[in-house]
Amino acid sequence: MEQSMIRLQAQLMKDYYKDFSRYAKGKKPECKIAWVTAFTPVEILEALGMDYYYPESYAAVIAASGKEQELMQECERQHLTADCCSYSCCFEGCVSLEKGPRGIPPKPDVLIATNNQCNTLPNWWNILAQRYHVPLIILDYPGEYVSGDYAYDYVRKQHEDLIFKLEILSGNKLDMSVLDKMIRNSKNSVQAWERIVDEFAVRAIRPTELFDGISFLITARCKEETAQLYVLMQEEFQKYSMADLTLTPVFWLGYPLWYHKDRYLSEIFDGFRMVGSNYITWWNLDYSGDTPLERLFQAYNYTFLNLKQNSRTKKLMECIKRSKAAGTVTLRNKSCKCDFVSARNIGLPQAELEIDMIDRMYLDTGKARRQMELLKEAICIVSELI
């Protein structure tokens, strides 16, 4: 069992990283390459036999390998200030110096950005388009701000146009039944991952295992092996002991800290246990609908960060309630304001930490420790009042 998990992980990693740097040295790729943002309908690209890479994810890998400072400084020397999203600064430094822990991703033939997450991404992709002189496709998802039928028509047309352009680029014709299969794979991956998230709330699972484990749902959600891996992971987690209920349950509201060996501030978690995180539910996309295009619309138009504040609060509250957290550790992320505002009105004591998910220099551990002590006191007071 353990061996199969390792084999599946290794296979997915190998598939993703096998061509890093290889083509930077002038070798011609075997298929067309896209660089995409984290909530791009990659099922279309997979069905067309294209390869795709995620600059945001690679920035996380760079920080995990301890290389982010040099690359962020290079980026600042060139054009972007360190106040911009650290994912972009870190990755821009990487492609400027052609240097990264696993090399650099194969050069793109097309860039695809979506705004269902934030507006930084289309701007960042514009910078990449200037660097590589390749077509840039921006998908505009209106979210809940436009009524259902109109939004569906608007997004469907963009997806059809994307298919048309990528068919020309890749030289392949989209087979709807293959697209349907890719969407089913994604759906299976999401369902298997949701079961893992449920285990996390009740068992002694290290948060690191989920913060790292979700990477496959991001970069390989429509590959069959991802759901297989998650089913095995869940079986493995079911063998873990139950969580220590004497520890105070808290919800991690924000990104993992990619530079940290545990991906969260484990050193200030004395007496606490993490029971949930919004980050590990962001890719639980809802692929419901009768046709492949309806399913893609539903999944990518209504991503968590593309919802209105009220809906976000409602979803977040459901998530926190399910985890049985008594308080939250809320990250006021230097890079990402849109994530932080999700935490409004959640009605629980919060420790609000100033932090960045990539830039390790932007952290005062002493202050964070004091905030956690205050959080513990606040939770005690609230529980006495109930």
String of b and e for 259-282 (b: at least 16 CB within 10 Å)?
bbeebbbbebbeebbbbbbbbbbb
User: Could you tell me which residues are beta bridge partners of residue 331?
Assistant: 353
**Using alpha carbons only, how large is the chain's radius of gyration in Å?**
21
Alpha carbons 354 and 346: distance in angstroms, whole number: 19
Q: Which of 64, 118, 129, 351 binds ligand SF4 (CB under 6 A)?
A: 118
- Phi, psi dihedrals of residue 75, rounded to the nearest 5°: -65, -45
338 is an interface residue for ligand SF4 by CB under 6 A: yes
The least CB distance from residue 349 to ligand SF4, in Å, is 25
The least CB distance from residue 92 to ligand SF4, in Å, is 12
Q: Which of 336, 343, 375, 379 binds ligand SF4 (CB under 6 A)?
A: 336
The least CB distance from residue 334 to ligand SF4, in Å, is 10
DSSP string, 146-199: S-HHHHHHHHHHHHHHHHHHHHHHH--PPPHHHHHHHHHHHHHHHHHHHHHHHH
121 is an interface residue for ligand SF4 by CB under 6 A: yes
The least CB distance from residue 63 to ligand SF4, in Å, is 12
Residue with Cβ nearer ligand SF4 (43 or 359) = 359
Residue with Cβ nearer ligand SF4 (9 or 57) = 57
Alpha carbons 190 and 50: distance in angstroms, whole number: 22
Q: Which of 33, 85, 110, 162 binds ligand SF4 (CB under 6 A)?
A: 85
Which 223-262 residues touch ligand SF4, going by CB under 6 A?
Answer: none
Residue with Cβ nearer ligand SF4 (45 or 85) = 85
Residue with Cβ nearer ligand SF4 (86 or 158) = 86
Which 141-180 residues touch ligand SF4, going by CB under 6 A?
Answer: none
Alpha carbons 311 and 302: distance in angstroms, whole number: 10
* Burial (Cβ within 10 Å: 0-12, 13-18, ≥19) of residue 236: middle
Interacting residues with ligand SF4 (CB under 6 A) = 56, 85, 87, 117-118, 120-121, 335-336, 338-339
